Chains A and B, each alone.
Chain A
Amino acid sequence: MIARGTAKRETFFAGRKSCFTRICGCPPFLLAQLFSFLNVGALRVSFRSLGVGYPPGGDRRLLQQMDSTGARQGFRGKVAELAVASAVLLIATALAYVALVRQLADRDSVTHTHIVLEKLGAVRSNVAEAESAERGYLLHGDDAYLAPYGQAVRDLRRNISDLRRLTGDNPVQHDTLKLLDRLVAAKLEFLDQRIQARYQQRTGTSVSGAQEGPGRQVREEVNLLLAAIKEEEDRLMVQRSGALQSSASKTKMTMGVLAGLSFIFIFSAGLIVQKEIAARARVEEQFRSLLEFAPDSIVVVNQKDEIVLVNAQTEKVFGYSRRELFRQSADMLMSQHFRQQHPGLRTQLFGDPKARLRSAGLELCCLRKDGTEFPVEISLAPLETAEGRLVSCAIRDITDRKQIQEALRRQAEEVERHRSELALSNVELIAANHELESFSYSVSHDLRAPLRTIDGFSLALLEDCGEKLDAQGRGYLHRVRAATQRMGLLIDDILNLSRVTRSEMRHERVDLSDIAKSILGDLAIAQPGRHAEVRIKERLHAMGDPHLLHIVLENLLGNAWKFTSKMETAHIQFDQAPSSGTTIFFVRDDGAGFDSAHAERLFGAFQRLHDKDEFPGTGIGLATVQRIVHRHGGRIWAKGAVGGGATFYFTLAQTRR
């Protein structure tokens, strides 16, 4: 039985040897690889859960953690790796179990051999005891020796029977035992005969002849057989002890591997769990921070209208501490006015779970701890939680916005007021302009008619009654006529000045050089006796009203012509001055010039720096010129000296208005 068992186990191990060896048999290198794989896997799992695998981290990590799909995928991955790890552990455990079972079997067979050897010893001593008792009886004939003898024989028989049972599965031992059995039987028969003979001798029957004989030989044979059996068992003992030692060491190794694997898995699992917990804590912290430091006040209210959660902004805005608000009615944050005026709305907002809770941009009024009220915009969102429906209220203080709106409204009002004032002014201006137009129209018609009458009848008087007047009288009449005509000129110039201001302006490209040439040409024709050297720069262009610019040059060149009338040869120049910005035009003459101290007065209406008899004029020309230049967005100035000529500079805006 023992031998067969051994054979079976060897077959079993032979069949699985490759597998076993691969995993446990020659393990250090392969196992190290396996561990490193598992360990790396475990770390990878933990890294994934932390999102470290997707650097650089923050936002991406948060987004990934917020993304439930990603979380599910991570979870599936972890389950798979956990299954692999569990399978590895299971296989290792199974192998350890098998090794243990084998070790136990080996130990059993060693024990078995020990028992067999013990029994062999017992048989040997039983035989000796039986012989000794028999010899004693033979010598003394005392019955007292018979009892030990019987005991020894019974023990012997029992032990042999035991041996046969114990070695029943070993055919070699079985045959040897059969022989032993026979020899022992023969020996016992011999001993029985001698005891029988002694018994008869004591009772008169002789015992001789029965001494010694084959007895000694039998005993030696028995001893030889016993020695043979022992030798076989000793051989088995050695074999089995070796097997036991081997299986024990394998068991130890397998257990060691198992323990190692378990440690690594548990350690890795612990690491993963720890990092997962840390990651979750971070996410929670982030979300908590989002809520806590949100720019709006966040108040979470339960179905009983009790405040269950507030953030820092709420404390800051309302002036309550969290402790004061917790489990209090949300009413305490609402203004009295709102509570009274909008109970229905309030119920809808906070009480009735069936109401449509999602809303945005509700403008309401809230109440601070100090009793002041402030306008807010509230957005509500329902939260379904394990504790039931909660309502999250995002409350934004819109005091600033309201103030800005109010300021804007006031500004708009102001603007509107200014606008209407402007409109009114415009109406007044239009009326004034209208009036001015009527005025100049009247001037044009009504002031000139009497002058014509005065002049006309003065001349009629001179023509019809000239002889009746002396030279002095006729001189007076000439003065009347001269004054009248001068008045006519003044009126014309004033009308021109007012027209310059009132007339519609055109904007087009004007060739100033051409205009200057034509004006000076006309002047030369009007006074053919004058000698003048005229220099006009070619192609001087400007943007402006051609008619008005004509008036400008007419006046400036006319002045130059006029104030050089005393010169033998007049020098008149029209050109542009070097300038980095706006073009500066100038008209220069070498005539009478003017006192530069009075340069400012040149452009005032009716201002004259020369005697009107010396240089005739109304004093309105330069005022008109200045007005035109100003209307073009330019400016005009003059340089000159008495007797040193004059230069008039002017600019015109470059851009079209």
Chain B
Amino acid sequence: MRRLVTVLVAVVVLAAPALAKKPPVPLAAPAFALPARSGTVVLDSLRGKVVLVDFWASWCEPCRKSFPWMNAVHQRYAAKGLVIVAINLDKTRGPADKFLEEFPAPFTIAFDPNGKAATAYRVKAMPTSYLIAPDGKVLEMHAGFDSKYAAALEARIAGALSP
């Protein structure tokens, strides 16, 4: 029994740093040029706009919630200048297209099957979203998706759009 407790404590001690550490957020949003549904998406060409970058995949369960939310945000803020770029990380186009049939998206979808942009953005979980200011700096990063965070992010977007 005592041995069990000792090991339990050891595991918790070893795990603590991993739990406490927050993944480092890149200060300046890394550039990317990725194929989109039509044409190419180049982040640098979006300088001067508020951009929401979301890394997603067809197999990511919470993405089934984030897409309807991004749709709603697009409806409300696209006219005010918000640009949403949802970067897909599926290894092949098939599953991604199938997902988009189920969750149609009017915003930009980019494809990063090799994960180059995801690596540059140091994505640690699926999905992960980054709010980028007009000057190219990352305002906020959030791993995962839940309704509480979504409400806070929307407020942040509204704040960033009205100077």
**Chain B associates with chain A:** no
Binding site for A on B (CB under 8 A): none
